[in-house]
Amino acid sequence: MRAMTWPALLSALAAFLIASLVTPTVGQDKSGTLRFGVGPLQPTPTETKKAYEPFFAYLAKQLNRDFDLVATTDWAGISVALANRQVDLAWMGPWGYILAHDDSDVRAIATAKYDGKPIYHAIVVCRPGAVKGWPEGAKGKRVSFADVGSTSGWLIPTAWFRTKGINPKEYFNYSDGATHAANEISVVSGQVDCATDFDRNRNAMIESGKIDRSATEVIWQSDPLPNDAIAVPKDFDPALAERIQRILVAITDAQAKTILPTHYTGFVAADHGSYKMIEDAGVLVGRIKKK
């Protein structure tokens, strides 16, 4: 074998050093552990992780990969985790997805189905009989919004008020930052007069016995909203993202009963356009700029 010249040796060494410094983009390591994240879809992170781990375990098994799972304490948290590449794939709220997309161009690949439909509704609940007419009957009363990363608990009601020329922070004795479960409990216990929530959460709390159906009264409901998004970072391997999308869409109702929380029945394919109405609401409230 002919010996390498000194310039050739330097060139080869430089190439090796450059190659050693290049790290694969998110999702491109075909054998590494996938990092999954999920927003606060249950009252506590522990409950969320327990409820959603079977689904992520199923997905990882289909991909023949190991996985880690983290459940965040608020809706903004999962958005930040995905935008900052702390997770490779996230199950997140629609508004959290839009915030992450606005920050770093993450992309939706699927929308969850709940009772066979990829939609849900934001709601406002009050103590029964406490409010006659919305919002006039609640002016000056104690009203709790959820955290500012929540679609149904903050964005959609805030956008709705904006269309009415009302600033809820001035119109009510206003507070925000609560979880949806805490909002319901606050109304039941009399700590607040009204609170934001979403229909799926209220129904789940009633079914589990955490609240009685008659303990809160729904006095406002939004137009249909796109359900939770499954999203990946901008630089996620496109082929792997497409494969994951196919796996999710192929989940049957029977499979959903074994790997998904109650009432979730699978997924439909999605892209960024699926969440345009959420993006429009974000522009309306001034949290993001129209692109």
pLDDT per residue, tens digit, the chain (291 aa), is 444 444 443 343 333 333 333 334 444 445 589 999 998 888 789 999 999 999 999 999 999 999 999 999 887 888 888 888 899 999 999 999 999 999 999 999 999 999 999 999 999 999 999 999 999 999 999 999 999 989 999 999 999 999 999 999 999 999 999 999 999 999 999 999 999 999 999 999 999 999 999 999 999 999 999 999 999 999 999 999 999 999 999 999 999 999 999 999 999 999 999 999 999 999 999 999 876
Residue matched to tokens 């190659």: 19
* pLDDT score for 31: 56
Domain assignments of the chain as residue spans, ordered by start = 34-118+226-284, 122-222
The pTM of the full predicted model, rounded to 2 decimals, is: 0.84
Distance, in Å, from the CA atom of 57 to the CA atom of 259, rounded to the nearest integer, reads: 9
The reply to whether CATH 3.40.190.10 applies to domain 34-118+226-284 is yes
DSSP conformational letter for 117: B
Task: Encode 236-255: b = buried (16+ Cβ within 10 Å), e = exposed.
Answer: bbeebbeebbeebeebeeee
If residue 102 lies in a helix (H) or strand (E), which one and from where to where?
helix 94-104
* Residue 88 backbone class (left: φ over 0; alpha: ψ -120 to 50; beta: rest): alpha
Classify domain 122-222 at the CATH topology level.
D-Maltodextrin-Binding Protein; domain 2 (3.40.190)
Distance, in Å, from the CA atom of 153 to the CA atom of 183, rounded to the nearest integer, reads: 9
* pLDDT score for 2: 40
Backbone angles phi, psi at 148, to 5 degrees: -70, -5
The reply to whether domains 34-118+226-284 and 122-222 share a CATH topology is yes
